[in-house]
Structure formats: structure tokens, C-alpha cells
Amino acid sequence: MPTDQLSPMLIAIAVIGGYLLGSIPFGVIATRLGGAGDVRSIGSGNIGATNVLRTGRKDLALVTLLGDGGKGAMAVFIAWFLTKDAPQAVQATLTALAGGAAFIGHIFPVWLKFKGGKGVATFFGTLLAAAWPVGILAGATWILMALIFRMSSLAALTAAVAAPVYVFLTDRPYPVAVLAVVMAVLIFIRHKDNIGRLLKGEEPKIGGKKPATSADPA
């Protein structure tokens, strides 16, 4: 990757700016401003849209979903704008850095003492902005798996595994492949409890009754 053609200032803006943008906890903000309390004290305690939905407020869950996905996309778009006149490889490198930083910011947000979500919504938003065919294919994979198996965590894990493959099949730049792999690895790490339940056949299904430590994909 031709990072030598990127100025340290641009790299700093992409990484620091992307991380701070990704750290915005839309789930916490939406539930508090919406009068639903602190989402971290509800259900599984996750800050993602799935847990926000347990407040009974579909509007707040939608705001959270769009916010978490949008911040990843926004980080990528800002990096794209800053390199719109640069070679494609340079632009791909900066957008991947910004998107990856936003994704990490969601998982480890500085505003919440580095205790964030599982990253699925931000994963999709980042992919859609960085390489829309990959984002669409990954989203379709999630939908298909969710319809077949009715388990959101399994759908998320499958989409994460498939994303790097889709990058290869659609001939996206190398930095996008690295971004997809890094996000996939972190999604698996964040879903370690879900993976354990999947292996035991104990993972709750979409729409079913969920225990307090249920499977939030977001």
C-alpha cells in the first residue's frame, strides 16, 4: 500500500477522526434522549440496535442502527473526499484506515471507557461506503442466513466471513481486503459468547425469548 504518498496529517485525520466518530454511542444517546433510560442497564447491556429494541422503542432502535452504520460510512466518505484527486490506491488506503478506525471506535469507544458494541451495524456501513458491492453482498448474506436459521449472531458471523471473499470476487483494492479481514476477526472476537452458545445449540433465535446475556449482533 502506497502509504508513503499519504501525508502524516491525512493519516492522523483519518485514524483519529474516524475513531472519535466511531466512538459516538448512538444507542446510549438515543435511549437517554428518548426517555428510555440507559441501554446498558437493559437486556444484555449491549449498546447496539438489537438491545435498544428491547426497550420497546422501534424508533430508537432504528436511530441506533442508522447512527452506528452511518458513522462508519461517514468516516469513509470524509477520507474519500480528502483524497478525491489522489490515485486510487492512495484513496483506498486512507478510506480503509478511516473505516477501520471508526469500526474500532464503536467496539472500544473512548466515551464509554472502551466498552462498546459488537460492531455489526458499523461493519455494514463501513463496507457499503468503502466498496458498495461488497457491502450489498454481505448484507444479502446476513438476510439469507437470518431467514434460514433465525439467528442474528450466526447471520452476522457468516457475513463477516464472506466479506473478504466478496472483496476478492469483486476485485476491490487490497486495502479494502485488509479492512474486511480485520473487521471480520474483531466481530468473531466480540461474538465469542455467541459462538459458544451456537456450538452448544443454545443460541436464541430471532423473535424468541432471550436471556439477559443474549445474542446481540450490533
Asked if residue 124 is part of any domain, the answer here is yes
pLDDT for position 214: 46
Asked if residue 211 is part of any domain, the answer here is no
Residue 199 has pLDDT above 50, yes or no: yes
Residue 46 has pLDDT above 70, yes or no: yes
Asked if residue 214 is part of any domain, the answer here is no
Terminal alpha carbon distance of the chain: 30
What percent of the chain is modeled with pLDDT above 90?
85
In angstroms, the CA 165 to CA 19 distance is 26
pLDDT for position 44: 82
Q: What is the pLDDT of residues 81-136, one digit of tens each?
A: 999 999 999 999 999 999 999 999 999 999 999 999 999 999 999 999 999 999 99
Q: What is the SS3 assignment for 170?
A: coil
What's the mean per-residue pLDDT of the chain?
Answer: 92
Q: What is the pLDDT of residues 70-82, one digit of tens each?
A: 999 999 999 999 9
Determine which of 19-23, 54-58, 133-137, 197-201 has the lowest per-residue pLDDT on average.
Answer: 54-58
In angstroms, the CA 19 to CA 101 distance is 5
Asked if residue 85 is part of any domain, the answer here is yes
- Report how many domains make up the chain: 1
Q: Which amino acid is at 123?
A: F
CA atoms in the 13 A half-sphere facing the CB of 73: 15
Task: Give the residue from 199, 161, 206 showing the smallest Cα distance to 180.
Answer: 161
pLDDT for position 143: 97
In angstroms, the CA 160 to CA 138 distance is 7
Residue 64 has pLDDT above 90, yes or no: yes
pLDDT for position 3: 46
Cell numbers at residue 74, please? 461517514
Asked if residue 218 is part of any domain, the answer here is no
Average pLDDT, integer, range 19-32 = 97
Asked if residue 209 is part of any domain, the answer here is no
Asked if residue 207 is part of any domain, the answer here is no
Asked if residue 217 is part of any domain, the answer here is no
Residue 152 has pLDDT above 50, yes or no: yes
* Residue 39 structural domain: 3-200
In angstroms, the CA 76 to CA 130 distance is 6
Helix, strand, coil fractions of the chain, as percent rounded to 5:
70, 0, 30
